Amino acid sequence: MNKLNRWVYAAVGVLVLFCAGIIYAWSVLSAPIAAEFTEWTKAQLSLTFTITMILFCMGCMAGGFLSAKLSPKLYVVAAAVLFLIGFQMTANIHSVIMLYIGFGVISGFGSGLVYNAVMGTITKWFPDKQGLISGVLLMGFGVSAFAIGKLYQALTPEEIGAWRNSFRFMGIVIPVVLALCAPFFVKPQPTEATRNVQKKSAANPVAMEATTGQMIRKPAFWLYYIWAILLSAAGLALISQATGSASEVGPVVSAGTIATVVGLISIFNAVGRVLSGMLYDRLGRASTMNLVNTSFIVTSVILTLGLTTGSFALIVVGFITGGLSYGSVAPINSAFVSSYYGQKNFSMNFSVINTNLVIASFGSTIAGSLYDASRSYLSTYMLMAGLALGGFVITSLIGMCDKRELAARKAR
């Protein structure tokens, strides 16, 4: 396996994350479940995704702990078993508690486990392209919800209960794919070439090999953590209100067209992951973060104009730029942890920074509350702009921390 071209490992990583990203298709997967269990409220069904996200982060963190003790092959297989159990249990649910356990707890934990395995193992093959490889890998995770969601809709009959067979099918295919890909999860052997690449890639003047304990004592880490929350929340706010805002501007547009237009957010989310990863490698942290901040503000302006002028074309453009903006955050998370705190403890450090998703997930709740209070989607766009403005402040503060860190090192 070690003699394979490193891009083979990258391709396997993309495929694995494509499968694991199915948890993000919950809004599509849940529609026929809601049609069968009409007594369940929207709040009860929405809680499933919240539980999934919490367990996803816990699974990611468990993967970080295991990375120093077990081969990643083993916990990829473990994730396959969890998906098998979780989806088969979900396919046989008769209570909302079973849904929470099957999809939320078991499948969510399995997804986080394999997510950490991919990011903690495959990125080690690319010490010279940490931003690019993060973006390429996470592209698979980002496009999964859209692609699998569309496939699920196309293959699932409209009859009540037909979704159960779809879950049973996915609960077999996904574990099989993960199990077959597990042998590819090997860490590269240190060579002179990779050592030279690592020296070249250590262009970040404040780079260090840090344990998780050392990392969380750094102000720059917490500032970045806040930035990730703000910008992820902006993206989730957009997604949560996308269908409603598009329908308001295009009242005569068909439901199918609305769904396709909203789906552009997912498609360009995947594109944004690759682009931002490449930009991080070429431009560095500050410039890339500020490009994302700017992109979110541009998105809010375009969508505001689209809403106030009734231009459906501008809404479409806004969804494209919004997808690019939101997709940029995840690969920067990975590249930031790697370029600042090294590869030695990357798996654990990455799992910690990934917990920002739990807090950021409330962005959609806040956007919904603002809409309920104002009855206008302008509130969502203003929220996005405000969060992005906060991102500019955070980006500057991290730069100040870097200067202090450099001065302290010179003083030693």
Tens digit of each residue's pLDDT (9 = 90 or more) over 288-325: 999 999 999 999 999 999 999 999 999 999 999 999 99
Q: In the structure encoding, which two tokens stand for residue 27, read together?
A: 């809004």
Tell me whether domains 6-198 and 202-411 share a fold.
Answer: yes
What value, to the nearest 5°, has the Cα angle with vertex 209 and ends 208 and 210?
Answer: 100
How confident is residue 3, by pLDDT bands cut at 50, 70 and 90? low
Give the residue, 85 or 241, on which the prediction is more confident: 85
**Structure confidence by residue, pLDDT tens digits, 144-173:** 878 888 888 888 888 898 899 999 999 999
From 117, 107, 54, 115, select the one nearest 82 (Cα to Cα). Answer: 107
Question: Hey, where are the domains in the chain?
Answer: 6-198, 202-411
Q: What is the CA radius of gyration of the chain?
A: 21
Between CA 131 and CA 117 the distance in angstroms is 17
Paired tokens of 94: 């008769």
Nearest-CA neighbor of 337 among 231, 227, 259? 227
Interacting residues of 299 by C-beta distance below 8 A, sequence separation 6+? 238, 318, 321, 322, 325, 384
CATH number of 6-198: 1.20.1250.20
In tens, the pLDDT along 69-102 reads 788 889 899 999 999 999 999 999 999 999 999 9
Q: What is the mean pLDDT of the chain?
A: 87
Task: Report pLDDT for 199.
Answer: 44
pTM listed for this prediction: 0.81
| Residues 87, 275: Cα–Cα separation, whole Å | 33
CATH class of 202-411: mainly alpha
